Amino acid sequence: MPDSPLWRQFRRLLLGAVVELLLDAGIVVEFASLRIDFEDDSVFRVPRLDNYMRFVGTVTGRCPVPPDAAAQAQLRARMTALWHELLSVVELPIGDTLTNDRAHVDVRVDGDVLTVRFDLAAD
């Protein structure tokens, strides 16, 4: 993933949203351990004539108390809904809109590590 100002700002936006969702789900995470990484499949072409966004990556963090299945399901559902919410407030020129193409989110816990894998796309 390129290290441009645009990517840094989107990383901050998404990580901040994930922190809110973790708090809402009651998932205890050592916040200093939180990390978000975008994979090379990620693309950010907004606004352009061929608007397209795809964010593929992971958020990881240490959980001293592993979240139960209900908290994991809540986080997965809210992460999926978050993508739709973000798209609904993006205003593009010339009356263009971004529509959801993909909102895949997987939440898992291995030992004390929470991993949220995401593949979010809009065109």
Residue 67's CATH number: 3.30.70
Q: What is the structure's pLDDT at 63? A: 96
pLDDT at position 78 is 94
pLDDT at position 87 = 77
At 61 the pLDDT is 97
pLDDT single digits (tens) 15-28: 899 999 999 999 99
pLDDT for residue 1 is more than 70 = no
Number of domains the chain contains? 1
CB 80 within 8 A of CB 105: yes
**Three-class secondary structure assignment of 2-47:** CCCHHHHHHHHHHHHHHHHHHHHHCCCCCHHHCEEEECCCCEEECC
What confidence tier does 45 reach under pLDDT thresholds 50, 70, 90?
Answer: confident
Q: Name the residue among 113, 119, 36, 29 with its Cα closest to residue 76.
A: 119
Mean pLDDT score across all residues of the chain: 86
Domain that holds residue 59: 5-122
pLDDT digits (tens, 9 = 90+) for 74-113: 999 999 998 888 877 766 655 566 677 788 999 999 999 9
Q: Which two tokens stand for residue 120?
A: 């979010």
